[in-house]
Amino acid sequence: MKIIGVCAGNGVMLHTFKNKDIVANIEPRRVFHTKLLEQWKLNFGNTPYFKSLNDYKEAKELPSSINYLIGAPDCGHSSILSYSRAKKTHDPKDNISIAQYISSVEYFKPEVFLMENLIKFKETGTYQDMIELLSDQYRFITHEGSVKEFGNSQVNRIRLILIGIRKDQNKEADNIFGELKTSKVLKTSRQLELDAKECPDFNYREDPEHSVPMSFEGKKLNLKEVKKIWRSKYHGQKRWAMPGTRMKNLPGVYRNMADCYPMTARKETRQFDSRGNALSPRQLATIQGLPGSFKIHYDKDNWNYWLNKARVTVTKCPPYEIALWFKKKINNYEDFKKISN
């Protein structure tokens, strides 16, 4: 069984398949790349990692067909029809990750593929182009709603999961990949913080003296001062109030309350735990469902750079439970095929 990631970041979606079936990951987005691919290699060793489908094609002894494809491309703005036919986008400034994803589906022709995206993606011409391109070869199933349906605690994280099943596959595949049942119990922010504390890198975060674009009563603050205010003036509040300004609350800033489910994890630094600490990459990873066995790369000689890279790695991807669900369904389908044969 061969599995490939396309727009799977630094491997969050592939980690559950680690050391088993992964052929490669094709990731065109620069934000995930570093000179030595430190983050990728930390978890996946020498498993191939490419910047484009063309790079993959030029590599030696890699398969042109695979069984399963998984990824989470950006929405993009260019026409997939245009890219597929002319092999270029109308505007080079457009994000081409979705184009790379679709081109990869066309090239590898997987039995089943999974794509995660925003629900609003369905309203775009890009989505319609994609369905038009693939409808001759694939039938489709969509799951739309909160990721809590997959067992992740970010109840406000609303996503689209598109499953493509090649038309030569047994119709039982539709039943298998169309079912969402999960027995996983959702966790509160307090429980997730306790889980994160079990990892040795729990406290790898910015220095308390690190200044942030936040203020209180006209004074700019560092993280130590922010924590103090969260625990005194803003005790019991999850939003950073902005009295005396046009804004009720500072956009993008929130605190996860201990007995509530966590807010949607984002790569920005202005997210805080129930004690008023800026969320560390490991805390973000735990909210995203990642186990401690997923290693996060740090380098203290370039601390802030790698903290930012770590945040991108664990947040600019679907929750880990979606990949776990996909793996379970793959196993169920493989078992069905053995029985039916």
Q: What does the pLDDT look like over 270-283, one tens digit per residue?
A: 899 999 999 999 99
Higher pLDDT pick, 96 / 304: 304
Specify the pLDDT at position 82: 47
Higher pLDDT pick, 181 / 289: 289
**pLDDT of 58 strictly over 60:** yes
Residue with tokens 């067992």: 151
Specify the pLDDT at position 84: 53
Specify the pLDDT at position 255: 96
Query: What is the rounded CA–CA span in Å between residue 236 and residue 229?
Result: 11
Higher pLDDT pick, 333 / 77: 333
* Residue 292 · residue 199 · CB < 8 Å: yes
Q: What does the pLDDT look like over 283-341, one tens digit per residue?
A: 999 999 999 999 999 999 999 999 999 999 999 999 999 999 999 999 999 999 999 87
Percent of the chain's residues with pLDDT above 70: 94
CA distances from 323 to 71, 153, 200 (A): 9, 15, 24
Query: What is the rounded CA–CA span in Å between residue 93 and residue 77?
Result: 9
Q: What is the rounded average pLDDT of the residues 160-188?
A: 94
**pLDDT of 91 strictly over 70:** no
Q: What is the rounded average pLDDT of the residues 109-134?
A: 93
Amino acid, single-letter form, for residue 23 = V
Q: What is the rounded average pLDDT of the residues 214-225?
A: 93
**pLDDT of 93 strictly over 50:** no
Specify the pLDDT at position 181: 80
Q: For residues 41-78, b (16+ Cβ closer than 10 Å) or e, as one string? A: bebbeebbbbeebeebeeeeeeeeebbbbbbbbbebbb
Specify the pLDDT at position 184: 80
Q: Mean pLDDT score of the chain, rounded to an integer?
A: 92
Query: What is the rounded CA–CA span in Å between residue 211 and residue 214?
Result: 8
Query: What is the rounded CA–CA span in Å between residue 274 and residue 178?
Result: 37
* Residue 75 · residue 116 · CB < 8 Å: no
**pLDDT tier at 43, thresholds 50, 70, 90:** very high
Closest CA to 12 of 58, 54, 43, 48: 43
Q: What is the rounded average pLDDT of the residues 175-196?
A: 93
Query: What is the rounded CA–CA span in Å between residue 154 and residue 145?
Result: 11
Query: What is the rounded CA–CA span in Å between residue 100 and residue 124?
Result: 17
Query: What is the rounded CA–CA span in Å between residue 200 and residue 319?
Result: 21
Q: What does the pLDDT look like over 221-255, one tens digit per residue?
A: 999 999 999 999 999 999 999 988 888 999 889 99
Q: What is the rounded average pLDDT of the residues 151-165?
A: 96
pTM higher than 0.75, yes or no? yes
**pLDDT of 87 strictly over 70:** no
Domains of the chain: 3-183+319-340 (3.40.50.150), 189-315 (no CATH)
